[in-house]
Structure 1
């Protein structure tokens, strides 16, 4: 399952936290979940553990 959203944790917004909760609940229920999101403002220099950056055209 792919969850595509502009808002996702660690961005401090209620929607971001709800979507993280949804992704975790789906994963706990056995779904393979991949989240596609943008980089929050101010986070370009660091990436939370477990996150990786994919660029268009990259494998």
Structure 2
């Protein structure tokens, strides 16, 4: 989780958004194991990480 707190850009990704494939790539690099995207989501949920949702823009 500490690695995720450092940000996606530090791990070589463009943009600050964490996606399941990006998290999976970091897990694979650090620990040598790979997971299905749905399993990555379950791991993140257990770590109390929530899905990032875009903020709504107010239209005038």
Q: Verify same fold: TM over 0.5.
A: no
Q: Which has the higher helix share?
A: 2
Which structure: larger Rg? 2
Where relative contact order (Cα < 8 A, 6+ residues apart) is larger, the structure is 1
For normalisation by structure 1, the TM-score amounts to: 0.29
For normalisation by structure 2, the TM-score amounts to: 0.29
